[in-house]
């Protein structure tokens, strides 16, 4: 996969929280810790008290949730600039997700205790943090909407496009960068592995994608987009509009 340059930390990317003025950056680094994780290493677990900010500087991090039966649901693949995790002032609260490095990943951990002072020194950065959290909120809400309102095929199509975009502009023939297993794809759209496989096969038959094992090619992004939006199969319009 393509490597994103990362001089210093948080830094590099074009993410909202990333491009901090040098002075602020220095200050951030002094108050926080930077940790390097290896692939498959757990960064934090669901249920942990949310007492620090976690900022992804480099690499890809999987945000997921488990139920008691061991089934997982992947909420998001977070890249540089993403503010993963949650922050509460009440230690009885717990985080709703676990985080695990997918690639080698650098994460900046900023303890809650030093946050108020830091924000006082750099109020605009406080704003950026709010915006970064807000972005996560928006992502999570869209995910919920898709799960509630769209069919599985639409969700898969949308996912593939999204994964494509994460690796640059999507053009016909675009290859996905990170090569996920069918199981991971399934956990990202909330279906069983078998269903994900069948849906992929269906998309191949329709000529929207091609795949050879884990290597997936978006042969017809427009078609994918229509499937993602339109819910081409089943589920059609209904009366219920709001007056």
Partner DNA sequence: CGCCAAGCCTGACCGATGTCATGGTTTCGC
Partner DNA sequence: GCGAAACCATGACATCGGTCAGGCTTGGCG
Q: Which does 211 bind (CB under 5 to 8 A by kind): DNA, a copy of itself, none?
A: DNA
Tell me the closest approach of the beta carbon of residue 205 to a copy of itself, in angstroms.
25
Q: What mask, x for binding DNA by CB under 7 A, covers residues 177 to 196?
A: ----xxx------xxxxxx-
Distance separating alpha carbons of residues 175 and 9, to the nearest angstrom? 29
Determine which residue in the list 88, 181, 201, 233 makes contact with a copy of itself, applying CB under 8 A. Answer: 88
Q: Which does 220 bind (CB under 5 to 8 A by kind): DNA, a copy of itself, none?
A: none
**Locus of tokens 């915006």:** 131
Residue 169 touches a copy of itself, criterion: CB under 8 A = no
Determine which residue in the list 117, 172, 194, 215 makes contact with a copy of itself, applying CB under 8 A. Answer: 117
Angle of the 152-166 helix axis to the 182-189 helix axis, nearest 10: 110
For DNA, give the closer residue by CB, 56 or 102.
Answer: 102
Q: Which two tokens stand for residue 240?
A: 């219920």
Residue 2 touches DNA, criterion: CB under 7 A = no
Residue 68 touches DNA, criterion: CB under 7 A = no
Tell me the closest approach of the beta carbon of residue 64 to DNA, in angstroms.
14
Q: Strand 61-66 and strand 98-101: pairing?
A: antiparallel
Tell me phi and psi for residue 192, to 5 degrees: -75, 160
Q: Is 240 left (phi over 0), alpha (psi -120 to 50) or beta?
A: beta
Angle of the 221-230 helix axis to the 152-166 helix axis, nearest 10: 140
Q: Which two tokens stand for residue 215?
A: 């290597």
Q: Strand 215-218 and strand 42-44: pairing?
A: unpaired
Residue span binding a copy of itself (CB under 8 A) among the ranges 6-14, 22-30, 165-173, 230-238:
230-238
Binding residues for DNA (CB under 7 A): 151-153, 181-183, 190-195, 197-201, 211, 213-214, 233-236, 238, 243
């Amino acid at each position: 996969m393509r490597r994103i340059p990362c001089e210093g930390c948080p830094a590099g990317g074009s993410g909202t929280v990333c491009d901090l003025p040098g002075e602020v950056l220095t200050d951030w680094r002094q108050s926080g810790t930077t940790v390097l994780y290896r692939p498959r290493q757990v960064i934090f677990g669901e249920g942990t008290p949310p007492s620090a900010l976690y900022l992804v500087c480099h690499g890809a991090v999987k945000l997921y949730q488990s139920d008691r039966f061991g089934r997982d649901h992947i909420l998001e693949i977070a890249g540089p600039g993403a503010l993963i995790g949650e922050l509460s002032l009440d230690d009885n609260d717990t985080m709703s997700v676990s985080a695990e490095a997918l690639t080698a990943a650098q994460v900046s951990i900023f303890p809650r205790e030093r946050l108020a002072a830091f924000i006082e020194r750099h109020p605009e950065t406080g704003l950026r943090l709010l915006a970064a959290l807000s972005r996560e909120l928006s992502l999570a809400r869209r995910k919920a909407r898709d799960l509630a309102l769209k069919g599985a095929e639409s969700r898969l199509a949308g996912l593939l496009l999204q994964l494509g975009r994460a690796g640059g502009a999507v053009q016909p023939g675009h290859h996905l960068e990170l090569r996920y297993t069918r199981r991971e794809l399934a956990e990202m759209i909330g279906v069983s592995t078998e269903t994900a496989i069948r849906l992929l096969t269906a998309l191949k038959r329709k000529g929207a994608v091609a795949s050879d094992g884990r290597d997936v090619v978006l042969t017809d992004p427009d078609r994918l987009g229509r499937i993602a939006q339109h819910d081409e199969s089943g589920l059609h319009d209904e009366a219920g509009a709001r007056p």
